[in-house]
Structure 1
Amino acid sequence: MADARHLTGRIFGALLWSFLAGCAGQPAARDAPHAGTAAGAERTWTFEPVPAWRDEFDYTGPPDPAKWSHDLGGGGWGNNELQHYTDRIGNAAVADGVLTITARREPAGEREYSSARLVSRGKGDFLYGRIEARARVPHGRGTWPAIWMLATDRAHGGWPDSGEIDIMEHVGFDPERVHMSVHTKTYNHVIGTQRTATHTVPGAMSGFHRYRVDWTPDAIRGYIDDAPVFTFANEGSGPDAWPFDRPFHLLLNIAVGGDWGGQKGVDTGAFPATMEVDYVRVYALAADGGGGD
């Protein structure tokens, strides 16, 4: 890939981000924490003050089709999950300023659980940015809610080669412990090298908390309620370790059971189980790229 440490690369990335998000940029305002480059230098990156893409869920009915599509079906989703994803309003609905994703114990497809998985693919695809959601996660052993990102064009190959960014994951058998992670060809849980951080969030299931990543050419940094939790630096060794040079899109879902979420079984009495999302906001990386090298 082009060397992102040069100014031209930063400008190109920011302009491409704005084009993909379909929104005009705004003057730079807010600072991100320092991110170390592969050479060990530090820069301060800035983000636009106004979201280039957002959903405030200030309407009533199904999720906005201009922003979200549904992944549909069962089949385990690569993790032996138990749910069948639908586009029914009973699994994903907006009311009173909140998106509610609901996993239910009911026949759906050939599965015993239904749920929803919203994706912004083709409607909100981003190259770098500050991505933030305010959410409340569900109670219940066997629930596995997530706010996360996948590569849109899979230019570096299938999973995990093109990368995954987990902004928030929570497994119900380990309540109030939130996980932030990345997956790449070099760093993933299948080979025991996954880069992740966990953080206890008191009240994660009873109240709303802010989950955020600041994604720049130098690093992916994760925050919960603005407290730094996770850092994954671009070590400069290429796409096997850093495939995060391509557009990504958002996913919001609740899985049921699975290789991780179902490790301690599934409490059938926990359903219906809901994740509530107050907003999702994406701020573009500022066109000037931030501080100097």
Structure 2
Amino acid sequence: MGDNIYELEIYLPRAGTYDVDLHVYKDGFEELLTKQITIAQDDPDYLDNMTLVWSDEFDGTEINTDYWTFETGSGGWGNNELQNYTNGDNAEIADGKLIITVRKENEFKVAGSYTSTRMISKGKKEFTYGRMEVRAKLPSGTGMWPAIWMLGGNISTEGWPACGEIDIMEYVGYQPDVVHATVHTTSGSGANGDGSSKALETAEEAFHVYGLIWDAKEMIFYIDSPENVTHTYAPFNKTASNWPFDLSQFFILNVAVGGNWGGVQGVDNTIFPQSMAVDYVRVYQSN
């Protein structure tokens, strides 16, 4: 290939051993060069070096349908939930925030007795790796089950839980002031998901940032600051069953009522209406 010398620089912010493949093509010549690189320690500034690649600040007058789709219907959503998700009737933008409002439609405590909203970014805004942050204030009362989470973009072909699920934040109203972060995969899902709980006394009264740092090595969940870690998920031997997380995931924002977890202690019909307020959704990625 002559005497030309080329230099290639790559940035690997996290400690670990990486197999780097370089495909070289020139004048009909093709060669694959493979090199194993070991990084001794994390770049202490790698979070600061991330760039904001997408956000919804909810600063407009309407929900941006270039970003979000309303999933609609009742029927339990696989968890015996009681809400009917409407086509935007229970969501609005007010004072620079997304407001998802849950309303009681009747006293019967059956499927369809309540209306709510479930918004997804599937097929519109999907991401692989990055730092995800959602600033939100949560509803209160027995029967509430708000969630800020992600699902694999391939769920239509792979199904759940093979597509992977990342619960950045879940909350059940009968257990106030405790937030949960959980990962669901084929190797562990539902009640057997890999997660942790964290006391947060002002979850219902104040806005908090619910964050996720996700790369090829691990997932780190936190509240308000990366220093306040709530859960870490990092299987030592990654397989398709425990790590389907090298593919894109989309966001889901919703508030459920009742269900297998949210309804363990029933639903208090005196609490409605209830709302989850979301200040922003932001995604940062390495350059």
Q: TM-score range by the shorter chain?
A: 0.7 to 0.9
How many residues end up aligned between the 2 structures? 250
Superposition pairs for residues 37-52 of structure 1, below 5 Å? Answer: 43-44=42-43, 46-47=46-47, 49-52=50-53
After TM superposition, give the deviation of residue 157 of structure 1 in Å: 2.3
The corresponding residue for 2:178 is 177
The corresponding residue for 2:25 is none
Conservation of the 8 A alpha-carbon contact between 1:102 and 1:274 = yes
Q: 1:74–1:212: structure 2 CA closer, same or farther, 3 Å change rule?
A: same
**Which structure has the larger Rg over C-alpha atoms?**
2
3-state SS, counterpart of residue 269 of structure 1: coil
The corresponding residue for 1:101 is 100
Cα RMSD over matched residues? 2.4
- Cα distance in structure 2, aligned partners of 1:251 and 1:141: 22
After TM superposition, give the deviation of residue 255 of structure 1 in Å: 0.3
Superposition pairs for residues 3-42 of structure 1, below 5 Å? Answer: 5-7=18-20
- Cα distance in structure 1, aligned partners of 2:85 and 2:230: 31
- Cα distance in structure 1, aligned partners of 2:82 and 2:201: 28
3-state SS, counterpart of residue 60 of structure 1: coil
Conservation of the 8 A alpha-carbon contact between 1:176 and 1:205 = yes
Structure 1, residues 114-158: CA drift from partner, whole Å, max 9, x if none?
A: 000010111110011100010000011000000000001138821
The corresponding residue for 2:57 is 56
Q: 1:215–1:253: structure 2 CA closer, same or farther, 3 Å change rule?
A: same
Is the aligned partner of 1:85 residue 2:98? Answer: no
After TM superposition, give the deviation of residue 264 of structure 1 in Å: 0.3
Superposition pairs for residues 1-293 of structure 1, below 5 Å? Answer: 5-7=18-20, 43-44=42-43, 46-47=46-47, 49-61=50-62, 63-89=63-89, 91-106=90-105, 111-154=112-155, 157-190=158-191, 192=192, 194-226=193-225, 227-284=228-285, 286-287=286-287
The corresponding residue for 2:9 is none
Q: 1:155–1:105: structure 2 CA closer, same or farther, 3 Å change rule?
A: closer
| Seq. identity, % | 43
- Cα distance in structure 1, aligned partners of 2:179 and 2:65: 29
- Cα distance in structure 1, aligned partners of 2:21 and 2:204: 44
Aligned-partner residue type, residue 67 of structure 1: Y
The corresponding residue for 2:29 is none
- Cα distance in structure 2, aligned partners of 1:94 and 1:162: 31
- Cα distance in structure 1, aligned partners of 2:230 and 2:96: 28
Can you give the 5+ residue segments of structure 1 that lack an aligned partner in the other structure? 10-38, 288-293
Structure 1, residues 197-222: CA drift from partner, whole Å, max 9, x if none?
A: 10011111011001000000000100
Q: 1:111–1:240: structure 2 CA closer, same or farther, 3 Å change rule?
A: same
After TM superposition, give the deviation of residue 187 of structure 1 in Å: 1.8
Can you give the 5+ residue segments of structure 2 that lack an aligned partner in the other structure? 1-16, 23-37
The corresponding residue for 1:12 is none
- Cα distance in structure 1, aligned partners of 2:256 and 2:169: 13
The structure, 1 or 2, with the larger RCO (C-alpha pairs under 8 Å, 6+ apart) is: 1
3-state SS, counterpart of residue 260 of structure 1: helix
Structure 1, residues 36-89: CA drift from partner, whole Å, max 9, x if none?
A: xxx99754483554321100111123x111111111101100000000101133
Aligned-partner residue type, residue 206 of structure 1: E
3-state SS, counterpart of residue 276 of structure 1: strand
- Cα distance in structure 2, aligned partners of 1:264 and 1:98: 30
After TM superposition, give the deviation of residue 8 of structure 1 in Å: 5.2
3-state SS, counterpart of residue 217 of structure 1: coil
3-state SS, counterpart of residue 155 of structure 2: coil
